[in-house]
């Protein structure tokens, strides 16, 4: 799995947190300001439960574009080069590791991945 969208889950913030916790993930609610970022990758798996807004994610290798809307669940594998374009959104992000231990910055350059 690189990316997976489950459309129209429509979970509340509390329900998304409960589902993520039950799955052994570490949920955090984040309001993300508008952005159109460059291609990057993350060294962790994550799930986002979109509560408000929408985001377009483009995977670099395939060029495939995913549109994630409020109510959708978006799962992303680690080490997939992608970019996001959005006008801001609110989501419960559920990480496969404690967010306090994430290597910063979380948006990593494609050159770093190529060097590994």
User: Would you say residue 80 has pLDDT above 70?
Assistant: yes
In CATH terms, the fold of domain 3-111 is Jelly Rolls (2.60.120)
Structure confidence by residue, pLDDT tens digits, 45-70: 999 999 999 999 999 999 999 999 99
Q: Sign of the C-alpha dihedral, residues 19, 23, 27, 30?
A: negative
- DSSP E strand boundaries for the chain: 3-6, 26-32, 35-36, 46-59, 65-69, 73-76, 82-95
Nearest to 95 by CA among 58, 43, 53, 33: 43
Separation of alpha carbons 72 and 64, rounded Å: 18
Secondary structure letter of residue 21 according to DSSP: H
For residue 1, the model assigns a pLDDT of 66
Is pTM, for the whole model, over 0.75? yes
User: Would you say residue 76 has pLDDT above 80?
Assistant: yes
Q: 83 Cβ partners below 8 Å, 6+ apart?
A: 36, 37, 38, 39, 40, 57, 58, 60
- What is the rounded radius of gyration, in angstroms, for the C-alpha atoms of the chain? 14
For residue 114, the model assigns a pLDDT of 81
| Residue 24: Cβ within 10 Å count | 8
């Amino acid at each position: 799995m690189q990316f997976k969208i489950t459309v129209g889950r429509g979970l509340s913030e509390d329900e998304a947190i409960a589902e993520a916790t039950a799955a052994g993930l570490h949920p955090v609610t984040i309001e993300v300001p508008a952005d159109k970022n460059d291609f990057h990758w993350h060294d962790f798996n994550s799930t986002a439960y979109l509560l408000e807004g929408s985001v377009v994610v483009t995977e670099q290798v395939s060029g495939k574009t995913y549109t994630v809307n409020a109510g959708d669940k978006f799962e992303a594998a680690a080490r997939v080069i992608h970019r996001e374009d959005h006008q801001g959104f609110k989501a419960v992000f559920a990480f496969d590791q404690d967010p306090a231990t994430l290597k910063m910055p979380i948006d990593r350059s494609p050159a770093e991945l190529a060097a590994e």
